[in-house]
Structure 1
Amino acid sequence: MSLENLLDQPLNSWMAGGGEEGDIVLSSRIRLARNMESTPFPNRANQLQLRSVVDESRLTLNRLNSMDNHKYLFIELEKLTPLERNVLVEKHIISPNHAQEPEQRALIARDDATVIIMINEEDHLRIQCMMPGLNLLAAAELASQIDDILEERCTLAFTEQMGYLTSCPTNLGTGLRASVMVHLPALVLTRQISRIVGAATQLGLAVRGLYGEGTEAVGNIFQISNQLTLGYSEQEIIANLSSVVKQVVDQERAARTALMTDSKDALSDRVWRAFGVLRYARSISGQEALSMLSEVRLGIDLKIIDEVPGVVFNELLVITRPNYLQKMAGREELEPGPRDRLRAQIIREKLKGGKSSC
């Protein structure tokens, strides 16, 4: 894998569709927060100390490359352009915080982007493993293997009383954050989403938008994750989140069934109006595109629209983002007008051939 492939390929393997409950659960993620024992946390470390973490992390490449048939790429963020860093954010490879302060920051990426290690983000090491559908156990197993390799090389900050020491107190203990990305258009349409979010919060979970903390749930896409790690085992965190997500999935399916039973004609009209906008629009904003794409994906899942595969939705989630569009256009800056026209053109090309199955 080259850096260009990482930047240019619209779909990582974990966003290509499939997996358990894959029509509603887009992906599962396990993230482990780890820190070097003798180095201040990134928000307190100086440039020399941050550099030592980057150099130490680079030395794990040989061991990572020997663990399976995949290859790992080491990337220093300050060598990327701001546009390239923002494309990585849009592809969920790095966080917005990691992209904003590139000096002495880096990442290690597996050739299929299933494994990403962010270096000197909020913590010295953020191990991130992604899987399609609802598959937290497989993601956790892979993250544990990567964690073991890093611990062979690095002495990590850990105490018997507190577990792994982290920059944010909510990550103390296992340092594990489990999350799933879910598409919940029916719960939004039936106005049940506030109740679902409230119930999840009461169970100690966080519900955020497409790009995590501090972002809105555009396109009816939500991230559900555990809030705390201290006092819970990794197995308890994963089991609790999986149980809640399955209940949310059941609620979404029930809402979809209700819409098809009680309001099929109105739903079909809404879905086809969204499809018509996307299929023929000559200019469209990013917000409107995600909203319309969400409704079209619902129509695909409910067999209202056929001959347009559901994975097109996943692909367009990335391609229609502003920085990805700018990279496709070969320009560091693209004015809103030309960008909206390019977005509409790409969507039209992707949606050719859709027709009704009714």
Structure 2
Amino acid sequence: MSLFNLRRLSPKEEFPNLDQNYTCMAKVLTLDMYTRQFNRATESGVIFDDIIRPGLEDPGEISGPMSVGCLAGDAQSYILFCEFFDRVIDAYHGHKLSNSQQSDFNYENLKGGDDLDRTYVLSCEVAVRRSVEGFSFPTHCSRAERRQLLTLAKKAFSLGSEDLPGNMYALDKRMQGDEGVGGCPKVDAPSDLMMRTGVARDWPDSRAVWVSKDSSLTVWINFDDHLQMVSKRTDSNIKEAFECVIINILKLEALYRKLRCWFVWKEQLGWVVSSPADVGTGLRASVWIKLQRLSQHKRMKSILERLRLRMDSTESTGVYKVYNPHTIGFSEVELLQLLVDGVKLLTVMEKRLEQPGGSIDDLVPAQK
């Protein structure tokens, strides 16, 4: 009988070249830390080199936003390699893991969100990610695990067919690049990075998309995480999207519990998913907003930092995606409130700059 034996040299000889690597992984990783993690492996076989591979495959750019540069292979990774992950979370989110992560699913606590200026805010989206206890994450899971996760999702949605009416579509290559087949939304082909890091292994085996009957909600199964629930709207009512996601993620969690399965939760980390960029709430909220003048302002970068927001350009001229880069250290409602209040202020600034000689100096928020 032969045993698995990974042939490696010493930690010093195996230490990666981090020159011109602009990820949080490279920012925190030292030879001493690498040496301490070198011979460790989780119960499912995740080693430290598996964790840091995404940042080595995609080192980022000096002028771009800093990515985390790592992915967990399973929930135990966050415990076994906590020295590393805790520092990555601090570097990316500015959050030290000392207090319990708080959750607030009471969407009625959100002030505003249904009153954004439709002249400027064109559309919005709210998404949450979840992982299922006892399964490896997409970078590391086996084919059988992935198929079990899909079977579990089918059982959950079948069990909740009355409370969560909709249809599930098993992914096949016909769907890629189309506007959707039947009622299934468009599915992009996996990126090169997804292939190299293992997220898209065996594509499209056991990937599926569930779509609600009224098309207001989509659940992506076995993509970047076990589950990602998304509510996307073609108007500015992000409060409605938030309410839709919160109500239905709680329904889905209850269905999984009936099947004796639980979403992964840790007291300090909150909801645990594959990327440390998404732990905590697992929530991303985005709006697409017209900011033709403000986007070119010299203080725009500082304004976004003070609002705790990030902005990406889109294919449409003058339209930008504004979203929360942080997911931990705030509750779900607090994150949405930051976005709603921030977008309102950005809209006021854009209107001010449309006026002849308009200045926004008095509107710039104090340092965060």
TM (norm. structure 1) is 0.57
Residue 140 of structure 2 aligns with an amino acid whose one-letter code is R
Q: CA deviation at 1:163?
A: 1.0
Q: CA deviation at 1:243?
A: 0.7
3-state SS of paired residue (2:249): helix
Q: CA deviation at 1:141?
A: 1.6
**1:195 partnered with 2:299:** yes
Q: Where do 1:19-168 residues align within 5 Å?
A: 20-67=116-163, 71-78=165-172, 80-84=174-178, 97=190, 101-154=203-256, 155-168=262-275
Structure 1 residues 93 and 199, CA gap change in structure 2 (3 angstroms):
farther
Residue 77 of structure 1 aligns with an amino acid whose one-letter code is L
Q: Where do 1:218-257 residues align within 5 Å?
A: 218-257=316-355
Q: Which residue of 1 aligns with 2:279?
A: 172
Residues 275-308 of structure 1 show CA distances to partners (whole Å, capped at 9, x for unaligned) of: xxxxxxxxxxxxxxxxxxxxxxxxxxxxxxxxxx
Q: CA deviation at 1:97?
A: 4.5
Q: CA deviation at 1:41?
A: 0.6
For residues 255 and 118 of structure 1, the distance between their equivalents in structure 2, rounded to whole angstroms, comes to 40
Structure 1 residues 97 and 22, CA gap change in structure 2 (3 angstroms):
farther
Structure 1 unpaired stretches of 5+: 1-17, 211-216, 262-358
Q: Tell me the number of residue pairs that the alignment of Structure 1 and Structure 2 aligns.
A: 229
For residues 325 and 215 of structure 2, the distance between their equivalents in structure 1, rounded to whole angstroms, comes to 25
Equivalent pair of 2:229/2:249 in contact (CA under 8 Å): yes
Residue 325 of structure 2 aligns with an amino acid whose one-letter code is Q
Residue 212 of structure 2 aligns with an amino acid whose one-letter code is R
Structure 2 unpaired stretches of 5+: 1-113, 195-199, 257-261, 359-368
3-state SS of paired residue (1:169): coil
TM (norm. structure 2) is 0.55
Structure 1 residues 144 and 26, CA gap change in structure 2 (3 angstroms):
same
For residues 173 and 284 of structure 2, the distance between their equivalents in structure 1, rounded to whole angstroms, comes to 29
Equivalent pair of 1:93/1:116 in contact (CA under 8 Å): no
For residues 173 and 343 of structure 2, the distance between their equivalents in structure 1, rounded to whole angstroms, comes to 39
3-state SS of paired residue (1:171): coil
3-state SS of paired residue (2:317): helix
The Cα RMSD (Å) is: 3.0
Residues 144-183 of structure 1 show CA distances to partners (whole Å, capped at 9, x for unaligned) of: 1211122123211112222110111121111111111112
Residue 241 of structure 1 aligns with an amino acid whose one-letter code is L
Identity %: 23
Residue 284 of structure 2 aligns with an amino acid whose one-letter code is R
Equivalent pair of 1:201/1:207 in contact (CA under 8 Å): no
For residues 153 and 202 of structure 1, the distance between their equivalents in structure 2, rounded to whole angstroms, comes to 39
Residue 50 of structure 1 aligns with an amino acid whose one-letter code is R
Q: Where do 1:284-295 residues align within 5 Å?
A: none
For residues 205 and 93 of structure 1, the distance between their equivalents in structure 2, rounded to whole angstroms, comes to 28
Equivalent pair of 1:60/1:149 in contact (CA under 8 Å): no
Which residue of the other structure, out of 177, 184, 196, is the alignment partner of 2:291? Answer: 184
Structure 1 residues 81 and 181, CA gap change in structure 2 (3 angstroms):
same
Residues 17-72 of structure 1 show CA distances to partners (whole Å, capped at 9, x for unaligned) of: x974222111221111100101011111111111111111122334554227xx41
Residue 151 of structure 1 aligns with an amino acid whose one-letter code is E
Residue 78 of structure 1 aligns with an amino acid whose one-letter code is D
Structure 1 residues 228 and 153, CA gap change in structure 2 (3 angstroms):
same
Q: CA deviation at 1:225?
A: 1.0
Equivalent pair of 1:172/1:230 in contact (CA under 8 Å): yes
Q: CA deviation at 1:109?
A: 1.2
Structure 1 residues 243 and 186, CA gap change in structure 2 (3 angstroms):
same
Structure 1 residues 39 and 110, CA gap change in structure 2 (3 angstroms):
same
Residue 172 of structure 1 aligns with an amino acid whose one-letter code is V
Equivalent pair of 1:64/1:146 in contact (CA under 8 Å): no
Structure 1 residues 205 and 158, CA gap change in structure 2 (3 angstroms):
same
Residue 242 of structure 1 aligns with an amino acid whose one-letter code is V
Structure 1 residues 149 and 94, CA gap change in structure 2 (3 angstroms):
farther
For residues 202 and 226 of structure 1, the distance between their equivalents in structure 2, rounded to whole angstroms, comes to 12
Structure 1 residues 161 and 219, CA gap change in structure 2 (3 angstroms):
same
Equivalent pair of 2:125/2:231 in contact (CA under 8 Å): yes
Q: CA deviation at 1:120?
A: 1.1
Q: Which residue of 1 aligns with 2:69?
A: none
Residue 40 of structure 1 aligns with an amino acid whose one-letter code is S
Q: Which residue of 2 aligns with 1:209?
A: 313
